[in-house]
Amino acid sequence: MNIFKKFFPAIFPLAAAMAVSEGDPMQPVSLKNENEKTVNIARPEGNWLILYFYPKDDTPGCTAQAKEFSRLKGEFAKEGAEIYGVNTDSPESHRRFIKKHDISVSLLSDPKGIVAKQFGVNVTMGMCSRDTVVVDSQGRIFKIFRGVNPKANPTEILSLLREK
Protein backbone atom coordinates (compact mmCIF):
# COMPACT_ATOMS: atom_id res chain seq x y z
CA MET A 1 0.00 0.00 0.00
CA ASN A 2 1.22 3.46 -0.84
CA ILE A 3 2.60 4.96 2.39
CA PHE A 4 0.64 8.18 1.88
CA LYS A 5 -2.63 6.29 1.54
CA LYS A 6 -1.79 4.28 4.63
CA PHE A 7 -0.97 7.20 6.91
CA PHE A 8 -2.98 10.01 5.34
CA PRO A 9 -6.18 8.48 3.91
CA ALA A 10 -8.21 11.61 4.69
CA ILE A 11 -5.92 13.62 2.42
CA PHE A 12 -6.11 11.11 -0.42
CA PRO A 13 -9.70 9.79 -0.33
CA LEU A 14 -10.01 9.27 -4.08
CA ALA A 15 -6.74 7.33 -4.34
CA ALA A 16 -7.65 5.24 -1.31
CA ALA A 17 -11.10 4.52 -2.72
CA MET A 18 -9.78 3.52 -6.14
CA ALA A 19 -7.00 1.08 -5.26
CA VAL A 20 -7.89 -2.58 -4.84
CA SER A 21 -6.71 -5.06 -2.25
CA GLU A 22 -6.36 -8.82 -2.34
CA GLY A 23 -9.79 -10.40 -1.94
CA ASP A 24 -11.65 -7.49 -3.56
CA PRO A 25 -13.85 -8.15 -6.58
CA MET A 26 -12.31 -6.95 -9.82
CA GLN A 27 -14.09 -3.96 -11.30
CA PRO A 28 -14.67 -3.96 -15.07
CA VAL A 29 -11.96 -2.37 -17.21
CA SER A 30 -11.94 -1.34 -20.86
CA LEU A 31 -8.76 -0.49 -22.71
CA LYS A 32 -7.58 -0.48 -26.31
CA ASN A 33 -5.22 -3.24 -27.36
CA GLU A 34 -2.35 -3.10 -29.84
CA ASN A 35 -4.86 -3.30 -32.72
CA GLU A 36 -6.89 -0.39 -31.32
CA LYS A 37 -9.78 -2.73 -30.46
CA THR A 38 -11.47 -2.14 -27.13
CA VAL A 39 -10.93 -5.03 -24.74
CA ASN A 40 -13.61 -5.21 -22.06
CA ILE A 41 -12.60 -7.24 -19.05
CA ALA A 42 -15.55 -7.42 -16.72
CA ARG A 43 -14.83 -10.82 -15.26
CA PRO A 44 -12.40 -13.57 -16.19
CA GLU A 45 -15.29 -15.86 -17.29
CA GLY A 46 -14.00 -18.84 -15.32
CA ASN A 47 -10.37 -18.18 -16.22
CA TRP A 48 -7.58 -16.66 -14.22
CA LEU A 49 -6.47 -13.24 -15.37
CA ILE A 50 -2.95 -11.85 -15.23
CA LEU A 51 -2.53 -8.09 -15.64
CA TYR A 52 1.10 -7.13 -15.63
CA PHE A 53 1.85 -3.43 -15.53
CA TYR A 54 5.18 -2.28 -16.91
CA PRO A 55 6.90 1.07 -17.51
CA LYS A 56 7.77 1.39 -21.21
CA ASP A 57 7.69 -0.56 -24.46
CA ASP A 58 11.02 -1.66 -25.92
CA THR A 59 13.18 -1.15 -22.83
CA PRO A 60 15.38 -3.98 -21.55
CA GLY A 61 13.40 -5.08 -18.48
CA CYS A 62 10.03 -4.65 -20.17
CA THR A 63 11.21 -6.58 -23.21
CA ALA A 64 12.51 -9.43 -21.05
CA GLN A 65 9.23 -9.62 -19.13
CA ALA A 66 7.06 -9.54 -22.28
CA LYS A 67 9.19 -12.18 -23.99
CA GLU A 68 9.02 -14.47 -20.95
CA PHE A 69 5.24 -14.12 -20.66
CA SER A 70 5.05 -14.85 -24.41
CA ARG A 71 7.31 -17.91 -24.09
CA LEU A 72 5.13 -19.26 -21.27
CA LYS A 73 1.78 -18.28 -22.79
CA GLY A 74 0.88 -21.90 -23.62
CA GLU A 75 1.67 -22.99 -20.06
CA PHE A 76 -0.54 -20.20 -18.70
CA ALA A 77 -3.33 -21.34 -21.05
CA LYS A 78 -3.06 -24.88 -19.61
CA GLU A 79 -3.70 -23.33 -16.18
CA GLY A 80 -6.72 -21.44 -17.55
CA ALA A 81 -5.08 -18.02 -17.45
CA GLU A 82 -5.23 -15.07 -19.82
CA ILE A 83 -2.38 -12.54 -19.83
CA TYR A 84 -2.42 -8.83 -20.64
CA GLY A 85 0.43 -6.36 -20.41
CA VAL A 86 -0.68 -2.83 -19.52
CA ASN A 87 1.09 0.52 -19.64
CA THR A 88 0.58 4.10 -20.77
CA ASP A 89 2.08 3.66 -24.26
CA SER A 90 -0.13 3.98 -27.34
CA PRO A 91 -1.53 1.05 -29.33
CA GLU A 92 0.85 2.04 -32.14
CA SER A 93 3.84 1.75 -29.79
CA HIS A 94 2.53 -1.65 -28.65
CA ARG A 95 2.28 -2.83 -32.28
CA ARG A 96 5.90 -1.85 -32.99
CA PHE A 97 7.07 -3.51 -29.76
CA ILE A 98 5.15 -6.72 -30.52
CA LYS A 99 6.46 -6.89 -34.07
CA LYS A 100 10.07 -6.11 -33.16
CA HIS A 101 10.29 -8.71 -30.38
CA ASP A 102 7.71 -11.29 -31.53
CA ILE A 103 5.55 -10.76 -28.44
CA SER A 104 2.47 -13.00 -28.34
CA VAL A 105 0.61 -11.57 -25.34
CA SER A 106 -1.84 -8.75 -25.91
CA LEU A 107 -0.77 -5.30 -24.71
CA LEU A 108 -3.32 -2.78 -23.50
CA SER A 109 -2.99 0.99 -23.62
CA ASP A 110 -3.89 2.99 -20.50
CA PRO A 111 -2.74 6.44 -21.69
CA LYS A 112 -3.77 8.36 -18.58
CA GLY A 113 -2.95 5.57 -16.13
CA ILE A 114 -6.54 5.43 -14.88
CA VAL A 115 -6.78 1.63 -14.82
CA ALA A 116 -3.26 1.37 -13.40
CA LYS A 117 -4.25 3.62 -10.51
CA GLN A 118 -7.43 1.57 -9.99
CA PHE A 119 -5.13 -1.38 -9.27
CA GLY A 120 -2.86 0.67 -7.00
CA VAL A 121 -0.09 0.89 -9.59
CA ASN A 122 2.02 4.02 -9.26
CA VAL A 123 2.19 6.16 -12.37
CA THR A 124 5.14 8.53 -12.32
CA MET A 125 6.20 10.73 -15.22
CA GLY A 126 3.77 8.82 -17.44
CA MET A 127 5.16 5.37 -16.61
CA CYS A 128 3.60 2.57 -14.58
CA SER A 129 5.46 0.83 -11.80
CA ARG A 130 6.23 -2.82 -12.46
CA ASP A 131 3.36 -4.60 -10.69
CA THR A 132 1.37 -7.75 -11.47
CA VAL A 133 -2.22 -8.42 -10.46
CA VAL A 134 -3.63 -11.96 -10.45
CA VAL A 135 -7.42 -12.28 -10.61
CA ASP A 136 -8.92 -15.67 -9.77
CA SER A 137 -11.57 -17.52 -11.75
CA GLN A 138 -14.27 -16.08 -9.48
CA GLY A 139 -13.33 -12.49 -10.39
CA ARG A 140 -11.55 -11.63 -7.13
CA ILE A 141 -8.11 -10.07 -6.76
CA PHE A 142 -6.12 -13.11 -5.69
CA LYS A 143 -2.62 -11.69 -5.40
CA ILE A 144 -0.86 -8.38 -6.06
CA PHE A 145 2.87 -8.34 -6.68
CA ARG A 146 4.55 -4.93 -6.35
CA GLY A 147 7.93 -3.96 -7.80
CA VAL A 148 8.49 -7.29 -9.51
CA ASN A 149 11.64 -8.64 -11.11
CA PRO A 150 10.83 -8.56 -14.86
CA LYS A 151 12.67 -11.76 -15.74
CA ALA A 152 11.45 -13.83 -12.77
CA ASN A 153 7.87 -12.55 -12.53
CA PRO A 154 6.26 -14.71 -15.27
CA THR A 155 7.70 -17.93 -13.80
CA GLU A 156 6.70 -16.84 -10.29
CA ILE A 157 3.11 -16.26 -11.43
CA LEU A 158 2.97 -19.57 -13.30
CA SER A 159 4.23 -21.41 -10.20
CA LEU A 160 1.52 -19.71 -8.13
CA LEU A 161 -1.17 -20.91 -10.56
CA ARG A 162 0.17 -24.44 -10.60
CA GLU A 163 -0.05 -24.58 -6.81
CA LYS A 164 -3.77 -23.67 -6.87
Domain positions in the chain: 25-163
Which three-class secondary structure state does DSSP give residue 57?
coil
> What does R_g of the chain's alpha carbons equal in angstroms?
15
Which of 151, 54, 153 is CA-nearest to residue 143? 153
- How far, CA to CA in Å, does 155 sit from each of 2, 11, 36, 73, 158? 26, 38, 29, 11, 5
> 143 with 56: CB under 8 angstroms?
no
- What do you get for the CA distance between the two ends of the chain, in Å? 25
Residue 18's pLDDT band, with cuts at 50, 70 and 90, is low
pLDDT score at 32: 98
pLDDT score at 5: 42
Q: Give the residue with greater pLDDT, 43 vs 103.
A: 103
pTM given for the model: 0.87
Taking every pair of Cα atoms in the chain, the longest distance, rounded to a whole number of angstroms, is 46
Q: Are strands 81-87 and 48-53 parallel, antiparallel or unpaired?
A: parallel
Q: Give the residue with greater pLDDT, 48 vs 19.
A: 48
pLDDT at 6 over 80: no
Active-site residue set: 62
CATH number at 25-163: 3.40.30.10
Q: For residue range 84-117, what is the model confidence (pLDDT) as tens digits? A: 999 999 999 999 999 999 999 999 999 999 999 9
